[in-house]
Chain A
Amino acid sequence: MILEFERPVKELEARIADLHRLAGPSAELQGEISRLEDALESAKRRIYSNLSPYQRVQVARHPDRPNFRAYRDALADDFYELSGDRAHGEDPAVRGGFARLSRSGHNVMLIGHDKGADVKSRVKGNFGMAHPEGYRKVRRLYELAGRFGMPIVTLVDTPGAFAGRQAEERGQAWAISEDLMALARSPVPVICMVIGEGGSGGALAMCAGDYVGMLENSYLSVIAPEACASIIFRDPGRAAEAAAAMKITARDLKEQKIVDEVLPEPLGGAHNEPDAAIEAVGETLGLVLSELSDVDPQTLMKTRYERYRRIGAHAAAGQDPALS
């Protein structure tokens, strides 16, 4: 899939490839080729360093963007998957289990939304939109991690919790709320990384912890920009405006002190160079885990309490906003 704003880059790449084919071993076209390569490099820089918030949302949704599976396979040398909510069923939209991180050697509870690898697995995982049994499995794993003193690492990548009849019948709201309560009282470090889409409550259920990092082109939002546009502007076509107005990019959220760190992506976005993006996440996880693993449960919970307690855009009448 080629995004609209990527087209000039893709066209240049295609022409360079053509010329390489035509030129063969001869040096005749080398001048033209290197001229185009320079043009390609500067086009990439120009385009990708000036992405609008909504263009970043499109990058975050790119089907080739590395997702939970890619991170799990690259970062864990053992992933011992655990399934089921012990009440209703197993939801493949979200996966979790014990993982040994190969880079740092840490044992963690690794949990992530699973957007799948191909059409079949994408459909099976409901495109990363979990049902209540998914969130209840997650709560079970949060508690398991707490029992074994194992840090929790979440990889967040969902358009949102699923909005459907059965999800409502089984208490979607109740399940998400239980996750938030479980995270609040977890005695182990909770490390959250938004690797793609951070859609609303379905993302937050796995994105409230002691450290929250975001890849440069990921987003975190209270509502999908399209839905916001159709409610507020009465026109889903104005999603780009809504995305800008709600300030949902990684950099915006760093500024709002809601996330700790923005992880730069390779030029052209994580889907252009998945290995580099995964490596960056792996390295950060190792550092954060080392930093937090010696912190005692009381301090962790107290710091987490204060972290979420202070977030807000409110003021006592006639005063400056009470932001820390």
Chain B
Amino acid sequence: MHRRREYSRSVPETESGLGPMDSVFTKCEKCGQPVYEKDLRARFNVCPHCEFHYPLSAPERVRLLLDAGSFEERDRGLVAADLLGFEGYAEKVEAARKKTGLDDAVLSGAGEIGGRRVAFAAMDFRFIGGSMGSVVGERVARAIEMAYADGLPLVIVSASGGARMFEGVYSLMQMAKTSVALSRYMEGSWPYVSVLTDPTFGGVTASFATAADVVIAEPGARIGFAGARVIEGTTKERLPEGFQTAEFQREHGMADRIVHRLALKGDLERLLGFVA
């Protein structure tokens, strides 16, 4: 599991995580400049001064990437079943549902990007750190199956601290579940585009998020398998500046492109123009 940023630990309720929704302005944690909350919202949580990308919720991601009014949510009402009876888990899920208005850490369905119909899923880090439990695995798998059945391009936006350990091995098995679905889909010739956002780690990175035809990452996003803290803890190694950032991953050959959030929709339209 990846620990969330300190700033969002203290005030997790708003979109940007920077301050209460009704505050007029707040201070950018990155550059220290004052930022109007409404400006930040208008720029999908990208700082107007330093271009730092703050986390973006799944509903906002839909608003950012899909043509207005085109999104049809699928599989609404699928919820975690807590079969293990893990102490405190049911309450955690309930609190996350209240806080986000989502059923779990993913929003999925069909929509259009530049007039092209796609199967779409976006993860939401506010929901228990975007951890992958059975609902995330199931909805991602169903989105992939819909893309397979209808012959659609597939776009998945990830944001996840890793597996949801409250679900024990069920959560681990969601990696296998999404992989079988994806493996079958990729026998066809429809494109799968994975967009990695801050942060994407663990079981999500080690399954569907990286097994794509094209991997796009947002600037500065932290992406990896094990979190930096875990690595420092086990190897006592000092990690270099910029370790596991999107730029680091591109430099190491793991991502195709780094795309600014406000240019992402246009970038996907161009890409789909080639391959869809």
Contacts and interface: CB of A to CB of B under 8 A. Distances in A.
Interface of A: 161, 163-165, 167-174, 176-178, 180-181, 183-185, 200-201, 204-205, 208, 220-223, 227-228, 231-232, 245-248, 252-253, 256, 258, 304-305, 308-309, 311-317, 321-323
Contacts of B80: 313-314
A231 B88 CA distance: 13
A275 to B, nearest CB: 30
Among all A-B residue pairs, the 8 with the closest Cβ atoms: A163-B226, A184-B183, A312-B134, A173-B205, A321-B81, A180-B179, A173-B225, A172-B225
Interface in B169-220: 169-177, 179-184, 186-187, 202-203, 205-211
Given A172-B226, A181-B179, 9 more contacts: A168-B226, A180-B175, A201-B207, A222-B169, A228-B165, A231-B165, A232-B165, A246-B168, A256-B169
Contacts of A322: 81
30 contacts: A161-B206, A165-B231, A171-B252, A171-B254, A173-B210, A177-B209, A180-B206, A181-B183, A184-B176, A205-B206, A222-B169, A232-B165, A232-B166, A245-B87, A245-B168, A246-B169, A247-B169, A248-B168, A252-B169, A253-B169, A256-B169, A258-B170, A308-B179, A309-B180, A311-B177, A312-B137, A313-B84, A316-B77, A321-B81, A321-B83
B83 A173 contact: no
A205 B141 CA distance: 18
Contact of B177 (A246, A252, A309, A316): A309
Contacts of A245: 84, 86-87, 168
B210 A312 contact: no
A169 B157 CA distance: 22
Interface stretch (B6-14, B50-58, B236-244, B263-271): B236-244
A202 to B, nearest CB: 9
Nearest to B205: A173
Interface in B227-255: 230-231, 234-235, 237, 239-240, 243-244, 252-254
Given A176-B206, A184-B183, A313-B133, A204 B170 contact: no
B167 interface: yes
B114 to A, nearest CB: 28
A176 B225 contact: yes
A174 B137 contact: no
A314 B166 CA distance: 13
B172 A200 contact: yes
Given A173-B225, A246-B169, A312-B134, A323 B141 contact: no
A294 to B, nearest CB: 22
A161 B209 CA distance: 18
Given A223-B165, A245-B87, A305 B211 contact: no
Contacts of B86: 245-246
A122 to B, nearest CB: 16
A158 to B, nearest CB: 13
Interface residues of B, number: 64
Contact of B234 (A164, A168, A308): A164
B224 A246 contact: no
A316 B139 CA distance: 12
A228 to B, nearest CB: 5
A181 B84 contact: no
A173 B168 contact: no
B136 to A, nearest CB: 9
B176 A314 contact: no
Nearest to A305: B180
A183 B178 CA distance: 12
B82 interface: yes
A201 B178 CA distance: 13
Which one of B169, B173, B208 has the highest number of Cβ atoms from chain A below 10 Å of its Cβ?
Answer: B169
B258 interface: no
Given A170-B252, A221-B168, A164 B235 contact: yes
Given A177-B211, A178-B211, A171 B172 contact: no
B169 A221 contact: yes
Given A223-B1, A231-B1, A308-B177, A314 B226 contact: no
Given A245-B86, A313-B84, A204 B182 contact: no
A258 B173 contact: yes
B143 to A, nearest CB: 13
A183 B184 CA distance: 11
B135 A314 contact: yes
